[in-house]
Amino acid sequence: MSTRRAFLFSYLDRYASIAISFTASVLISRLLTPAEVGVFSVAMVLIGFLGPFRDFGATQFVVQSPDLTDETLQTVRNLQLGLGVLLATVIAASSPWIANFYNDGRIRALMLPLGALSTALLTRELKFKELALVRFTGACGGALTSVLLAWRGFGPLSLAFGALAGSALTSFAAIYSRPVHLPWRGGLRNARRAVRFGSAMTGVNLLVMVYGNVAELSLARLQSLGISGLFGRAQGLVVMLERLLMEGANSVALPVFAAAIRDEKPLGDLYLRAIGVISAVGWTFFGLTACISPALIHILYGSQWASAAPIAQALCMSLWLLTPNLMFNQPLVALGRSGLILRVATFSTALQVMAVVPAAAHSLQAACIALNATALVMTIILSVVSKRVVSFTWPALAKTLAHSLGLAICCLSGPVLVMLYVAGRPELYIAQILVSAALTAVAFLFFSKLVGHPVASEIQQILARRQRKARSASEN
C-alpha cells in the first residue's frame, strides 16, 4: 500500500471512530451530569495509567523491529497476556482505596479491567483498511452500549460498560483480521530485546499519561469532581480534535519513518515536510476551534457545560504551542531511541506536575495558565532535541514554520472577526460555526495554493488521483 493511500485509510478510520465517539458524547452529555462524567473520567484516567504496562511498548517494538520471527512474536504476546492478568488484579484490589481518596464510592464500581489490543502487525504492514474496519466495529459497539445504558439510568457505569464492550469487539475483530498466525505456546525466548525496548516505552507512555491527565486528577482532588468534570469535558472535546488531526498521521508516520531507515534514507527532509503539513493544518484547526468553542459546547452539550468553553480555549492554545512537535516521537521510535524519548518524557512530566499541581490548588484558571506555560517551554526543548537527532538546520525549520504560520494567520482572520461580532449572542452560535468553518476552508485552499505551501501539493495529488480513478471507472 502506498504512503498516501495508507494516510487516506488511516484518516477514514479515525474520522469514522471519532464521529461515532463524538455523537455518543453529545447524547451522553444530555443524560449525565458533570459530576457523573467526572466520576468516570477519574476512574478511566487511573486505569489508563496501567495501560502502558499492559502493552509494554509491544506495538512500537513490532513496528520498528528490523526482523520479526515467530519466537519474537510469541514472546511479545506472552508478556502482554501475563501483564494483563496481573494488572487486572491490581485494578480490582485498589478500587476501594481510590474511592476513599476521592471521597466518592461510585469510583469503586468503575475500577474494572478494560481490555486493550495490539494492532502492531497490521500497522507494520500498512494494512490500514483492515485497521479501519476493526476500530469502526469497536467504536460502534462501545458507543451504542454507553448511550443505551445511560438512557436506562445506569449513570457513570454506562460509560464503563461501553468502554468494555468496545474493547471486546475490537479485540475479536482484530484477531479475525490479523495478517499472520501468532503462536500461543508458552515461552519467553528472545525476551531480552523486547523487554529492553518495552521497558523504556512503557515508562514513556506512563509519563505521557501523567502529563496529559495531571490537571484533571489534581482538580478532582483539590477542587471538586464537578470542576474536574468540566475540565474533562473541555479536554475531551479538544483531545478529540487533536486525534482527528494526529492519529491518522501518527499511524502512518511510524512505519514510514521505519521504512526510510531500513532503506538508509535521511530523515531530515521527510521530518520537515511532515512538520510543515502538520503545523499548517494544526495551527489553523486549533485556532478555529478556539474561536468557536463557546458555540460548540453550548450547542452540543447544553447550557450546563457553558463554563467548559474558556477551558477548551485555553487547551486549544496549549496544543497550538505544541503543534510543531506533535510528531516528535515517531522518528525517534523508528530510530530505536527509546531511552532518549524516556528522558525527555521524564523531564516534561516533572515540569508539568511542578507547574500544574500547585496551580490547581489555587484555581481552575491558574491550572490552565500553568498548562500553557509548560507547553511553551516544552516546544522549545523538543525542537532542540529533534534537531540534534533527526538532523535538520534551524533556518530550514524557521522557514517551514514561518510558511505555515503565515498561512494559519490568513485563514483565521475571518473566524476571529466572526467571533468578535457574535460574542454574547447565543442565538447566532449555529451561524457562527457554519460561517467560520466555511471561511476557514475556503481561505485554507486559496492561500495554501497562493503561497505555494507543501500542503497544497498534497491536496492536488489526492484530487488528481481521484479524478483518474473516476475517469477509469467511467470508461470501464
User: What pLDDT was estimated at residue 405?
Assistant: 94
254: left (phi over 0), alpha (psi -120 to 50) or beta: alpha
Answer whether 164's CB lies under 8 Å from 114's CB.
yes
> CA 87, CA 426: separation in Å to the nearest integer?
47
The phi and psi torsions of 180 (rounded to 5 degrees) equal -135, 160
DSSP, residue by residue, 99-128:
HHHTT-THHHHH---------HHHHHTT-H
> CA 120, CA 174: separation in Å to the nearest integer?
10
> CA 230, CA 35: separation in Å to the nearest integer?
8
User: What pLDDT was estimated at residue 316?
Assistant: 94
> CA 139, CA 125: separation in Å to the nearest integer?
23
What letter does residue 391 receive in the DSSP assignment?
I
User: What pLDDT was estimated at residue 168?
Assistant: 72
Answer whether 378's CB lies under 8 Å from 356's CB.
no
Length of the chain: 476
User: What stretches in the chain show pLDDT beneath 70?
Assistant: 1-18, 21-22, 25-26, 28-132, 156-157, 159-160, 167, 171, 174-202, 248, 251, 462, 465-466, 469-470, 472-476
Q: How far is CA 124 from the centre of its chain?
A: 19
User: What pLDDT was estimated at residue 139?
Assistant: 77
Q: Where are the domains of the chain?
A: 3-475
User: What pLDDT was estimated at residue 312?
Assistant: 93
> CA 370, CA 389: separation in Å to the nearest integer?
29
C-alpha distances in Å from residue 105, one per residue of 158, 223, 271, 319: 16, 18, 48, 34
Q: What is the pTM of this model?
A: 0.68
In terms of Cα–Cα distance, which of 281, 24, 255, 247 is closest to 135? Answer: 247
In terms of Cα–Cα distance, which of 119, 128, 121 is closest to 2? Answer: 128
